[in-house]
Amino acid sequence: MNSNRKCYAVKNKNENIRAESRSGRVFTAISDWVLDNGGVVYGCVMSDAYTAEHIRAVTKIDRNRMRGSKYIPSHINNCYSLCAEDLSTGRQVLFSGTPCQIDALKNFLSVKKVDTTNLLTMDLICHSVASPKLWRKYVDHLSQGKRIDCVDFRDKKNFGWVAHKETIVVEGVEISSNGFSDIYYSDLAYPLHCFKCYYKNCNRVSDITIGDYWGIDKLDPEFFDNKGISLVMLNSEKGEDAFSACSKELEIREHYLIDSLQPPLVHNYVIPKNRTRFYKSLNRDNFDILLKKFIKRPELIYTKIISIALKIVKR
Ligand SMILES: Cc1cc2nc3c(=O)[nH]c(=O)nc-3n(C[C@H](O)[C@H](O)[C@H](O)COP(=O)(O)OP(=O)(O)OC[C@H]3O[C@@H](n4cnc5c(N)ncnc54)[C@H](O)[C@@H]3O)c2cc1C
Ligand code: SF4
């Protein structure tokens, strides 16, 4: 890698707005610019059935549903075809997703011979996606058949940006735990292709790459605030132009990429030895049993956090 390659630490100047996004709200800033210019935005939302789905948005209300990371695979639905239609009519399009989704989109548009002049792509630094079955078991386990009001895969508002805890609101009661994230980071629940990912490196497929700026607390302690800092890589002239067009509302610090690397920018993860056993258990056991079998001392972390949340709500 070119050791002079730059990247950017970015946060939105408005802290209240930043709270709604996973990291520094770069996606919102760039998608605002596209929507304000009459463009279209594609991205991932959580459906009413708690699956991750890609949708097309022409309003900020729909776009806002794309905010926040959903750590499961997103169904692309008919978004590639819709995107081709939008581009064919001359509309500006921002398409956001995992690197493999962006690469697939570009292949699709190339086969269909679509003019991509007005296409801006944004990919995520991608750790991997977890089994949707695991997510379903987790949600069912916490809700116990009751109504779910909302889901936050990574609750930044209550626990800060660095922590990784989910919060699910079940009939008005906030239940927070790190049950799902503990399994996510154990690497047990990823599909096999995520261990052979072509995109875990610095050769990016999109115009702009965004992620969490891990390590910024040490690299630039003054800038760090545990409210969400994005790492931004600008990979093309189009990406640079879009970023500079919406930079007024952002606080930006320039760094060397070589000082800002994290594992998904460098290498694939190793398949855990007990992954096959985990998947057998996933087909058979409920979430509690999975957690007890595969994560060290899960009950302590898990029940304590739930009981604290319940106590707060009762008060
Ligand atoms: C599965 C997954 C793994 C990730 N792994 C890492 C990592 O290892 N290191 C790192 O630094 N950052 C990772 N990220 C990215 C990071 O969590 C933030 O999504 C990113 O920094 C954007 O922050 P934001 O505040 O600008 O965007 P937000 O306003 O939070 O917007 C979220 C953006 O992510 C997209 N998105 C959300 N979920 C999905 C999904 N399931 N599939 C496709 N697109 C989705 C939305 O379309 C939107 O563009 C990951 C994200 C996901 C979804
Ligand atoms: S890890 Fe790679 S293959 Fe898996 S979802 Fe992310 S980009 Fe796609």
Per-residue pLDDT of the chain (315 residues; tens, 9 = 90+): 787 899 999 998 877 666 666 666 899 999 999 999 999 999 999 999 999 999 999 999 999 999 999 999 999 999 999 999 999 999 999 999 999 999 999 999 999 999 999 999 999 999 999 999 999 999 999 899 999 888 888 777 778 777 778 888 999 999 888 899 999 999 999 999 999 999 999 999 999 999 999 999 999 999 998 888 999 999 999 999 999 999 988 999 999 999 999 999 999 999 999 999 999 999 999 999 999 999 975 544 444 455 455 455 444
Phi-psi region of 10 (alpha: psi -120 to 50; beta: other; left: phi over 0): beta
Please tell me whether residue 178 adopts helix, strand or coil conformation. coil
Whether residue 227 sits in one domain with residue 93? yes
CA 129 to the chain's CA centroid? 9
pTM above 0.85, yes or no: yes
Ligand minimally distant from the alpha carbon of residue 128: 2
What range does the domain containing 143 cover?
A: 132-188+285-314
Residues whose beta carbon lies within 6 Å of some atom of ligand 2: 98-100, 126, 128-129, 193-194, 197, 199
Whether residue 176 sits in one domain with residue 308? yes
Whether residue 143 sits in one domain with residue 84? no
Residue 274 domain-assigned (yes or no): no
Ligand 2 center to 75 CA (angstroms): 13
Residue 194 domain-assigned (yes or no): no
Angstrom distance (rounded) from CA 78 to CA 84: 10
Angstrom distance (rounded) from CA 105 to CA 85: 13
Ligand minimally distant from the alpha carbon of residue 94: 1
Pick from 54, 127, 199 the residue to mutate for probing ligand 2's pocket: most ligand atoms within 8 Å of its CB.
Answer: 199
Residue 1 domain-assigned (yes or no): no
- Confirm if 109 and 56 have CB atoms less than 8 A apart: no
With b for 16 or more beta-carbon neighbours within 10 A and e for fewer, the 39-58 pattern comes to: bbbbbbbbeeebbbbbbbbe
Nearest atom in ligand 2 to 101's CA:
8
Whether residue 167 sits in one domain with residue 70? no
- Confirm if 43 and 52 have CB atoms less than 8 A apart: no
Whether residue 155 sits in one domain with residue 228? no
Whether residue 48 sits in one domain with residue 86? yes
Whether residue 294 sits in one domain with residue 170? yes
Ligand 2 center to 98 CA (angstroms): 6
Token couple for 180: 């799902």
Pick from 47, 55, 69, 197 the residue to mutate for probing ligand 1's pocket: most ligand atoms within 8 Å of its CB.
Answer: 69
Residue 278 domain-assigned (yes or no): no
Whether residue 234 sits in one domain with residue 180? no
Nearest atom in ligand 1 to 129's CA:
1
Whether residue 140 sits in one domain with residue 212? no
Number of domains making up the chain = 2
Whether residue 240 sits in one domain with residue 300? no
Whether residue 28 sits in one domain with residue 170? no
